[in-house]
Amino acid sequence: MTQININPSTSEDSEYVRQQLIAFNAAHVSEELRHRYEELNYNIKNETSEIVAGVLSTLCWNWLEVDILWVDANQRQQGYGSQLLREVERIARKKSCDFIQLNTFSYQAPEFYKKHGYQLITTIENAPTGHSHYYFKKDLT
């Protein structure tokens, strides 16, 4: 058997692998969805232009994925997270997404997402150790 060498990837190597998977996936989705990929990132700044909350999300094919929703600890309970979440939901509907998916940890915001109509899909226990990792989905159609 030929020996295989496993090497650390450079950023260029990683981009090559990513593009190969993107090409493979594109061959399995409709032409209409094939090129639907867009990052949707927004923030809220205070009166001194400091970012106090932000959301990083990705529209991919027929859904939107919330990657990060963050609110500065000193600015919580003021509705910033809800405003950002509603904004990406509004955009997802406008762009005809079928659903939104996201994940959060037990020490983050699972109750916040439930309050906003997200349904728990699955839980991975002890990830990280001593906590749970929750995956949520909200249907838009």
Question: Which structure tokens are listed for 133?
Answer: 């990792």
CA distance 44 to 85: 12
Residue-number span of the structural domain to which 89 is assigned: 34-139
Residue 81 lies in a domain: yes
Q: What are phi and psi of 65, to 5 degrees?
A: -115, 125
- pTM listed for this prediction: 0.88
Place of tokens 């509004």: 90
Residue 99 lies in a domain: yes
CA distance 62 to 79: 28
- For residue 100, which of 76, 119, 126, 122 has the smallest C-alpha distance? 119
Residue 43 lies in a domain: yes
Reported as a single tens digit per residue, the pLDDT across 56-93 is 999 999 999 999 999 999 999 999 999 999 999 999 99
- AA identity, residue 130: G
The set of residues, in sequence order, having a beta carbon less than 8 Å from that of 23 and lying 6+ positions away, is none
CA distance 34 to 131: 37
Q: Provide the domain count of the chain.
A: 1
Residue 73 lies in a domain: yes
CA distance 35 to 21: 14
Q: Can you give the CATH number for the domain in which 134 is found?
A: 3.40.630.30
Residue 4 lies in a domain: no
Cis status of the peptide bond prior to 128, with omega within 30 of 0: yes
Residue 46 lies in a domain: yes
pLDDT averages per 10-residue partition of the chain, 141 residues: 91 96 92 91 97 97 97 96 98 97 97 98 98 98 88
Residue 129 lies in a domain: yes
The whole-number pLDDT of residue 10 equals 96
